[in-house]
Structure 1
Amino acid sequence: MGRQKPSKPGTRKYGTKTRYSNDTLQKILEEITTGRIGQREAARKYNIPRQTIVNKLKNKHSCKVGRATVFTEIKERSFVQHCITVSDMGVPISIFDLRCIVKSYLDTCNRKVSCFADNMPGWEWGKAFLERHHSELSQKFTVNISRKHAAVNEDIISTFFLKYKDEIEGVPAENIFNFDETGFHDIPAKGKLLFRRTCRHPEKIENTSKSCFTVMFCGNAAGEFLPPYLIFKGKQKWTDWIYNAPPGTRMNSSDSVWMEQGVFDDWFETHFLPFALKKEGRRVIIGDNLSSHISIRTLELCEQNNIKFICLPPNATHLLQPLDVAYFSSLKKNWRDVLSQWRKTPEGKKKQCLPKGTFSGLLAKTLQLGEQTASSNLVKGFEKCGLCPVNCDRVLQCLPDYARNESSVMGSVGAEFKKIFGDNKTIRSECEVCQKVQVAHRTREECVYRRC
């Protein structure tokens, strides 16, 4: 006989013979106490043993089912508080990390737990721990951010808005612009497909490449968009690259396919400036502090045409860039769907790389697909970033706890957990009553063997 595969570990289930919930049982007891139904009739109707109903009416067997937990409620609360504190700092731990912390705690206290192999809690204990504290702890997939992004705190945001509020005073929403470039990669959408259950390498035959196209977008707080500005890789430009592009689209080329200073100056002078000059009054343009976005030529044009150029704080675009916050996410989703459909066509199956002329046509379809919600998304992006109307508190609410009140969080790291280690140094390490070396305790509730 072949070797049987080990089953995946799981927490033990107690009370599996019952076919009713606690809410259903309480409802039945209420009907019996009010005289609407008898005990025998309720037992037959709801398929519940009559003795169970009698015990519940007499308030018997009201204790929790199963053995006592290894740790007291107070100590488990300290573990929970430790997990919450380190997660608020931006360095959350996994269940395995928690099990290692518990093992370290047990070894420090010279306590041996028989149900833990080598004093290391098992996978089942970790899962049961989460179930006991599901109202406070939960496992979630993390989103990694760099340490530079994490360094953006309340002081940086408040200082920016203090200066921004003075610069934007009296400027209407249609005169407040935000620009940002983004890359469109030749990577179709991914999804769950059907495979043989024993398949170890689920693959799909579909052409793809590492090609990328940069597009500059710009819009105002009133929801108006400028036509896109395409940047292709190369030294020469050909007009047939944008035959199928959205109306008003302009293009340029660069060796790196990224935004360069000369390309940005061309975008500002030939693309943005004619659109902005149609607006009356003072104008404001907001962008990140990328070096290629700041040049003497651009600043001179801003001064000559009554345009205020405002740079966002470094590494804060995920909080203060309206296009990043509310527009690009849905745009990229639509792009991957459009690209996936094109890859299924005869031309898409034949082409290894996405042609430049084809890209402009696919971009037009992508923008058309999200045309109904694009304007409202941009307006909401300005609101969420607190840029129009000006609202600094809107952004501060999005900051994590370690960025809003760093000093208090740093001072409370593992305070409850450290307290347990400190308390055990001044208490006996051996119980005089039950004569067992374990965590020192003062009361019967803290004694694991319940003999004190």
Structure 2
Amino acid sequence: MRTYKRKTTRCSYTTEDLSNAAKAVNDEGKSVNAAAKEFGIKRMTLTRFSKILNEGGDSSMGYATPRRVFSPTQEESLKNYLLQMASIFYGYSPKDVRRLAYECAAKFSIEIPPSWTANKMAGKEWLTMFLKRNPELSIRKPEPTSLGRATSFNAQNVKVFFEKLAEVMDRYGFTAADIWNVDETGVSSVLKPNKIVAAKGKRNVGAMTSGERGTNVTVVTAVSALGNAVPPMFVFPRKQFKTHFLNGGPPKCIGAGNASGWVTDEEFYQFMQHFIKHVKPSMERPVLLVLDNHSSHLNVETLNLAKENGVVMLSFPPHCSHKLQPLDVSVFGPFKKYCAAAQDAWLRNNPGKTLTIYDIPKIVADSLPVAQTSINIVNGFRKTGIFPYNANIFGEDEFSPSFVTDRPEQETIEPEKDHPEQAVMSSTELNPTPSASTSQAEPKPSPSKKENETIDLKQLKLTEERGQLQYTPEKNALEEQQNKTTKKVKKPKKNMDKKRKKSVCKKILQSSDESGDDDYSCLICCEGYSESLPGESWIQCQACREWAHTKCVPGAGVTFVCVNCNSDNDD
């Protein structure tokens, strides 16, 4: 009966119409036939209704409302709560909603069916009818979203980004042709196949792929707010790149290779040269390049190259590129779908063959132009509010996931007027938390050894001095830190004789004592403590207080005296 649909128009009038017709018969003296025709009511229905009213009976009509556990007001509150939890990415599953309904009914002592008490949750029938009574709700499959993205995309971070974007655009007067976005994405040799037409009711439907697990090839591309695009760059998971890797690829594309297949400092520096070659920026006609704060974008050589050629780099706040980056918003989504369709076509045209990473350039050449159209690119810049500039492009509902970490905004420190070089020209000073400050009055000190992994574009500022782009001390600190991390520690060879080992160990110990370094070396094999394996035991000399591997001094007891100290005692 819950799916019954009315087949006739009988009794389509309301109780109000019936009451007015009965009033016309009883009070105004109209005949039953005249009143029935005037209000469109059946004669016998009006007669029975008038008789019931005259006898003082109940004037209600139609079927009674089915018994409901919750009142309309209670269901409205439950609906609003479920919508709010879904908006902050902590939505309830259907079974959780049924448990919540039971807990609410038990809390407020509402009469419930016995099956609710037995199962400690509401029934499936109740959930079905609850969803029908509230069409704003439906059962949806959520998209996985990391906690970093959910909390970092907040009103404060987005506000600071658009403030920096407005400052840069006002200073340089960038047009649509001067605003570019660069990003990379991975294309696997095994993608999820598209939907197919198959037999109805069959549980398992398969589609042919070239393997169980694919190999990724990174594709780097750049687009402008005018709808133009730079030929892509391919990064293959090969230590040595060969030109034949690009056979069948897009026109004027370039390639590189490394062991991982992902973009590193060298590959992004190469792409920056490729970008400058095609866009042709200059100090007289600079361009704006918006990009995420990936570690490969932090290479000092790349930043110097951009500065020398008039490329102003503006980074997105951390974990916000899925909403603010035009390529992520409007290009890469359809690009992956077209790549999957192109791979299906390739496998169908080459039966029995395996698609390798060397066939991906041909796949990208067929898919990228279809996805990277001028309309898609322009729409991406428009939906992110970058161009045309729109700082209010995102509503309050877009920031609902950051509700769990909202905190009051801290007061900002305005830079002194006598030091205009301290004006922040990039959004990279953002802190992932919503309480980030928007400017600084003093340069940050050089980061310590433990902070190596936390340096990113957040510590980089762009300024303008005498018509040229200059960098603040944060860039010098970044350069100094990168120089420290690139230094290699030379290890002594392990195949030297014992006498040479002793002399080398003495030199190492003397140098370590002079420098005050806390890293000790083994007296026998000269291996540093930081290089030892997990769980490897060490023993200390009771005389000189130096250390050695337990395996290097077999037979050593509780009190251990090294060979050097024993030789000194013998002399």
| TM-score, normalised by the number of residues in structure 2 | 0.59
- Aligned-residue offset at 1:85: 2.8
Superposition pairs of residues 207-286 of structure 1, within 5 angstroms: 207-208=210-211, 209-269=213-273, 271-277=274-280, 281-286=285-290
Mapped to 1, the partners of 2:379 and 2:295 lie a distance apart of 28
How far does residue 302 in structure 1 lie from its aligned partner after superposition?
1.8
Contact 1:184 1:214 (C-alpha < 8 Å) held by counterparts: yes
Q: Return the offset for 1:65.
A: 4.5
Q: Do the aligned partners of residues 251 and 67 (structure 1) sit closer, same or farther apart at CA in structure 2, a change above 3 Å counting?
A: same
Report Cα offsets for 1:121-165 as digits up to 9, x if no partner: 20000111111122x323222112111011121011001111121
Matched, 1:352 2:361: no
The letter of the residue matching 2:354 is: Q
> Residues 342 and 366 of structure 2 are in contact (CA less than 8 Å); yes or no, is this contact kept in structure 1?
yes
- CA distance, structure 1, for counterparts of residue 3 and residue 234 of structure 2: 62
Find the residue that maps to 1:160 and give its secondary structure: helix
- Residues 296-445 of structure 1 correspond to what in structure 2 (within 5 A)? 296-346=300-350, 349-356=351-358, 358-370=359-371, 374-396=373-395, 399-403=398-402
**Equivalent residue, structure 1, for 2:126:** 125
Instruction: Please point out which of 182, 186, 201 is paired with 1:183.
Output: 186
Matches within 5 A, 1:286-297: 286-297=290-301
1:283-340 Cα shifts (integer Å, max 9, x gaps): 1111000011121111111221222111110000011101111111111111111111
Q: What's the offset of the Cα at 1:14?
A: 6.3
SS at match of 1:116: helix
Aligned equivalent of 1:164: 165
RCO comparison, higher one (Cα < 8 Å, 6+): 1
* DSSP-derived class of the 2:398 partner: coil
Deviation, 1:241, is 1.7
What is the letter of the counterpart of residue 334 of structure 1? Y
SS in structure 2 of the partner of residue 213 of structure 1: strand
More moved, 387-396 vs 141-150: 387-396
How far 1:355 sits from its partner (Å)? 4.3
* Maintained 8 Å contact 1:218/1:225: yes
**RMSD, aligned α-carbons:** 3.2
CA, structure 1 residues 127+56, in 2 after alignment: closer, same or farther (shift >3 Å)?
farther
> What does residue 445 of structure 1 align with?
none
Q: What is aligned with 2:148?
A: 148
Contact kept in structure 2, 1:99 and 1:121, CA below 8 Å: yes
Per the alignment, do residues 236 and 398 of structure 1 end up closer, same or farther by CA in structure 2, a change over 3 Å counting? Answer: farther
Residue of structure 2 in register with 1:13 after alignment: 2
Q: Distance in 2 between matches of 1:130 and 1:333?
A: 33
Corresponding residue SS for 1:226? strand
| Partners of 2:281 and 2:319 in 1: CA distance | 32
The Cα of 1:232 is off from its aligned counterpart by: 0.8
TM-score by length of 1: 0.73
State the match for 2:54 in structure 1: none
Partner Cα distance (1:390, 1:326) in 2: 17
1:386: Cα distance to partner?
Answer: 1.1
Tell me if structure 2 keeps the 8 A contact 1:235–1:254.
Answer: yes
- Greater Rg over alpha carbons, structure: 2
Structure 2: where are the runs of 5+ without partners?
22-32, 34-40, 51-58, 408-571
Q: Distance in 1 between matches of 2:87 and 2:48?
A: 46
Cross-structure match for 1:433: none
Identity across matched positions, percent: 23
Instruction: Give the residue type in structure 2 aligned to 1:148.
Output: G
Contact 2:218 2:235 in 1 (8 A): yes
CA displacement 1:333-384 (0-9 Å, x = unmatched): 11111111011113xx32234241x22222211134446xx11111111111
Q: Secondary structure at the match of 1:362?
A: helix
